[in-house]
């Protein structure tokens, strides 16, 4: 009668062969495809958040530029810059 050792009682999952079976490869590919699909969904959510942020920024800018005091302050600033540049060039107005 032969004695059985621990190495004789290994199951197919415990073999030292590191090459995955075709079924296991398909399973891994399916899992990878699932993760890639999820990533596309996250990108879509990120685009949605970016779009909402852009619309909010544009809305704020429209409200700011509708304010007559702000527009006048901006025009005065532009005039002051042009006058400073012209004076530096010796072309005072």
Tens of pLDDT, residue by residue over 30-86, are 777 766 655 556 677 888 899 999 999 999 999 999 999 999 999 999 999 999 999
Task: Tell me how far apart the alpha carbons of residues 75 and 65 are, in angstroms, rounded to a whole number.
Answer: 12
CA R_g for the chain? 35
Q: Could you tell me the end-to-end alpha-carbon distance of the chain, in angstroms, rounded to an integer?
A: 115
Q: Look up the pTM and report it.
A: 0.42
Tens of pLDDT, residues 10-25: 555 555 567 778 878 7
Using an 8 Å Cβ cutoff, are 67 and 75 in contact?
no
Name the residue with tokens 């920024």. 57
- Residues whose CB falls within 8 Å of the CB of residue 82, separated by 6 or more in sequence, listed in order: none
Tens of pLDDT, residues 84-93: 999 888 886 6
The DSSP code for 16 is S
């Amino acid at each position: 009668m032969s004695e059985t050792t621990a190495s004789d009682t290994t199951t197919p999952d415990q073999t030292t062969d590191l090459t995955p079976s075709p079924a296991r490869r398909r399973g891994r590919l399916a899992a990878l495809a699932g993760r890639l699909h999820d990533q596309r969904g996250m990108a879509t959510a990120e685009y949605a958040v970016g779009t909402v942020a852009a619309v909010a920024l544009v809305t704020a800018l429209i409200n700011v530029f509708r304010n007559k005091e702000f527009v006048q302050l901006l025009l005065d600033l532009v005039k002051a810059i042009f006058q400073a540049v012209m004076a530096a060039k010796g072309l005072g107005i």
